[in-house]
Chains A and B, each alone.
Chain A
Amino acid sequence: MFKTRYILTRLRSKLRTYWSLIKSLQTGLLLLTGLAGYMSARCPVITWKTLLALAGSLFLAISGSTVLNMVHDRDIDAIMKRTCNRPLPQNRIGVKEATAFGIGISAIGIGWALILEPLYGLVVFVGFFTDVVVYTMWLKRCTALSVIWGGIAGGMPVLAGRVLGTGTIDWVAILLAVGVLFWIPTHIMTFNLRNKTDYMQAGVPTFPSIYGNKTTHIVIALSSIASAIAMGIASYGIGMTWGYLRVLIVLSAGLLLLASSSLLRPSERLNFGLFKYASVYMMSSMVLVLAETF
């Protein structure tokens, strides 16, 4: 009885550790973009079997890359106040175990994706490679411009989803990916501004520390505009009805208003608002694409 309870407690604690390794919110949002990309292709290609396979393979691949990023960045995570409580710096999980977990779920996810549809699998693999190798291992500690590669990696799930739905890389797929690509700087740079000292202490070059806050605010405003335009044209290309397009226009206007306010009267609070709103904006855009299908 006690042994069973002990095992259950250990198992629960292990699962909790694994769960915090995959950054569930970020993974969930990227997964949502993938699902929206797939659903944007519309019927009759959508089947629940394929949809579940897409969700499973993408979830595993994205989670795997997140875990491997955490393994690689454990030294800087330990220095930064915001991340020092993560499982690896806290030694709640060993490096070998986390690496094996990351490689394992990534391999299953990418393998599953390749079996499902080779072109889809290839896009998922490119996303994984760009995120883990190009962004995290190679560029993140060398240049502040690594954020572009982070953006490209972030745009891959929606591209992959659309590719699985249509069987090809069309202009709508590219625009959807571009929309996410330009949303990433808004997301990451507002985060960089908020935790500037942390990143400087860890020796990670960020846009605010290299180019200054003013330039960063300008880049955030411009990338928000570019993201809103790309999402708008892509949604029109999908054939989104005017009703949903109107909601997208309103949400885009909110994003632009916040970005320009943050540019004109920069403040910590407004910056935080922009960071949060940008996530809500991306999530809502994808929900609108999904809602359109139903």
Chain B
Amino acid sequence: MKKITSPNRILLLLTGLLAAYQIAIGIDGLSIFVITSYMVAFGVLLVAGLLLIILGFDVLNSPIVVVVSTLIPLSLSMGLVSQYLPNFELPYLVFACIGLLAILITRYVRPTKIATIVLAIVHGIAGLLIAFLPLNLVLRKEVAPGFIFVGIGGILIGIGGLLLSFLRVGKPLLPARTIFSLLPGLLLLMTASFVLGMALG
């Protein structure tokens, strides 16, 4: 397992601080459900950043990583749907719950093909929503142009989530060392994009 370096630790600390800022200040004034959804997403980022700093990349060996790396896009997309597409709130909540449950259950299924398919579907839908809903809202001039950064964050989270999840299910898209080298920077960029987008939007 690749050893975590000091620059990596700094990047992760900055990620944690940005996530903490967003939880404390960046999501005020929204409905309780939206706040809770965003709080889960940024909360997982905050705690994951701290655990990576403390335990290093070894923590990524835990079977819980697949669930955690799914929880971020699912809760974030849930918040976006609830905030901007309130009519779809309940159906999407049902999809998010079933998706998370399916990922949990298929962790224990052999062969892993089913797990990979379930993972790709859930991640794919959540990732596409985070990436393209902001773009759609900006084009329709429902939000300020700066909100596009949320979409950029969505693309980054999609990349990060897929890399990690497929690594955990034993079908890595890139060598593990490359993924670990990219991860801290990717996490920071993604968090910064979300914070910036939500502040500007």
Is A14 close to B, CB under 8 A?
no
Query: For residue A167, which residues in chain B have a CB less than 8 angstroms away from its CB?
Result: none
Is B142 close to A, CB under 8 A?
no
Is B12 close to A, CB under 8 A?
no
In the bound assembly, the distance between CA atoms of A246 and B37 in angstroms comes to: 12
Query: For residue A8, which residues in chain B have a CB less than 8 angstroms away from its CB?
Result: none
Is B51 close to A, CB under 8 A?
yes
| Also in contact, A251 and B47, with CB within 8 A (given A243-B28, A244-B24) | yes
B30-57: CB near A (< 8 Å → 1, else 0) gives 0000010001001100110011001100
Is B59 close to A, CB under 8 A?
yes
Query: For residue B35, which residues in chain A have a CB less than 8 angstroms away from its CB?
Result: 246
Kindly provide the distance from the CB of B3 to the nearest chain A CB, expressed in whole angstroms: 14
Is A276 close to B, CB under 8 A?
yes
B24–A277 CB distance below 8 A: no
Q: Is the interface of B mostly helix, strand, loop or mixed?
A: helix
B104-144: CB near A (< 8 Å → 1, else 0) gives 00000000000000000000000000000000000000000
Query: For residue B42, which residues in chain A have a CB less than 8 angstroms away from its CB?
Result: 250
Is A257 close to B, CB under 8 A?
yes
B47–A276 CB distance below 8 A: no
Among A243, A246, A258, A280: residue with most chain B CB under 10 A: A246
A80-107: CB near B (< 8 Å → 1, else 0) gives 0000000000000000000000000000
A-side interface size class: 10 to 19
Kindly provide the distance from the CB of A293 to the nearest chain B CB, expressed in whole angstroms: 14
In the bound assembly, the distance between CA atoms of A257 and B62 in angstroms comes to: 13
Q: Which of A61-85 contact B (CB under 8 A)?
A: none
Closest to A275 in B: B54
Interface size on B, residues (CB 8 A): 18
Query: For residue A246, which residues in chain B have a CB less than 8 angstroms away from its CB?
Result: 23-24, 35, 39, 43
B54–A277 CB distance below 8 A: yes
Is B97 close to A, CB under 8 A?
no
In the bound assembly, the distance between CA atoms of A246 and B46 in angstroms comes to: 12
Closest to A243 in B: B24
Query: For residue A254, which residues in chain B have a CB less than 8 angstroms away from its CB?
Result: 46-47, 50-51
Closest to A280 in B: B50
A253–B51 CB distance below 8 A: no
B55–A269 CB distance below 8 A: yes
- Nearest 4 Cβ contacts at the A-B interface: A250-B43, A254-B47, A243-B24, A276-B54
Can you sample 8 A-B contacts with CB below 8 Å? Answer: A244-B24, A246-B35, A247-B24, A250-B43, A276-B54, A277-B51, A280-B50, A280-B54
